[in-house]
Amino acid sequence: MTAAGHKSDRRQFLQQAAIVGAVAGLAHATPASASERFRWKMTTTWPPAFPVLQEACDTFAATLNTITEQQLQLKVFAGGELVPPLATFDVVSSGALEMGVGAAYYWTGKVPAAGFFCALPFGMSGQQFHAWLYGGGGMELWRELYAQYDLVPLIFGNTGVQMAGWFRREINALSDLQGLKMRIPGYGGKVMAALGVNVVLLPGAEIYTALERGTIDAAEWVSPYHDERLGLYRAAPYYYYPGWQEPCAALELIIHRPAWERLPRRIQAAVEGAAAQAHIWTSSTLDALNGPALARLTSSHGAKLRKLPDDVLSALRKTATEVIAEIGGDDRVSKKIRESYLDFRQRSEQWFEVSEQAMAKAQALG
């Protein structure tokens, strides 16, 4: 995608989101005070100027400022500018900031069941996940879980299937994982740890340096477009697929619940509409950018594309099943989420096999 085309898409996103917000505000309900203004701050887990993901946050803020006629003014801070990236959940939960954007697997240490709303190893595809979220009760469960932390969650994008990561040496057998130092977050990290990998959690801005210096041996980041932008191909030559650890990775907007409840319903609707548009734009833009980026990585940058061996994938899947079965332990809400997610995945599997999977196989026939 050209720079001009990308800027054009951003303008289109802004225009579409403005329409969404305008429709939401047609009733133009009068707030408690017509002159009341809300000045909020948002932090993210992304590095400054991070393409697409941080870009969506900046555009989201501009959209809200426009469609609420400055009644909700949102200032965005990238990860590290105001608070550390991995502190996003805590600072919004406490009310120190009103909004945050990130990926829930960064805080599964605090909220184990949050991983169900981001990425699970060998979990649902993006399409299946969205079906569960909107048609299978997932959204209600997400709200119930986050209410315990004074948060309101909204989906804010989805990266789709990711890559398995960049490795400094080849993986030919399960034994090659033993003692490997790898940056991989969330439950993918727990699965790797169970198989002998030394798991490291690093924010995106620190990955390249750690990989290039040999502090880590491998790293999972996002997908071809962002991996190329981060220059990971210069630090490790082997690029593995499939992204078993993240069949999809939903991004989230979290809002401090008391602050949310102080907003007039018209402003809440504007936030919901702009977040929904950011979700569509982010997901679609990444799909559009990843194909050309993968081609450049393999043809121009010398990346060596490799598929993980079947025996490695089988071991990963077996271990993932065991890890997922223990998420949240006996906690009532976590158990309810786990059962709902796994039940929906099972019930949707046959349809997925005869639709998406079957079509992909048919297209591969040439």
Identify the CATH number of the domain defined by range 165-244+303-360: 3.40.190.10
Going by their DSSP bridges, the two strands 72-77 and 165-167 should be labelled as unpaired
Residues 121-156 pLDDT 10s = 999 999 999 999 999 999 999 999 999 999 999 999
Residue 365 token pair: 């026939």
The 3-state DSSP class for residue 110 equals coil
Residues 71-88 pLDDT 10s = 999 999 999 999 999 999
Residues 177-214 pLDDT 10s = 999 999 998 899 999 999 999 999 888 889 999 999 99
DSSP state of 35: T
Q: Is 98 or 186 the better-scoring residue by pLDDT?
A: 98
What span, in angstroms and rounded, lies between the C-alpha atoms of 226 and 244? 18
Domain boundaries, the chain: 34-160+247-289, 165-244+303-360
Identify the CATH number of the domain defined by range 34-160+247-289: 3.40.190.170
**Stated pTM of the model:** 0.86
Dihedral, CA of residue 28, residue 32, residue 38 and residue 43, to nearest 10: -80
Going by their DSSP bridges, the two strands 304-307 and 238-241 should be labelled as parallel
| Residue among 49, 110, 59 at smallest CA distance from 81 | 49
Say whether 165-244+303-360 and 34-160+247-289 share the same fold: yes
| Residue-wise DSSP of 141-210 | HHHHHHHTTTEEEEEEEE--S---EEESS---SGGGGTT-EEE--HHHHHHHHHTT-EEE---GGGHHHH
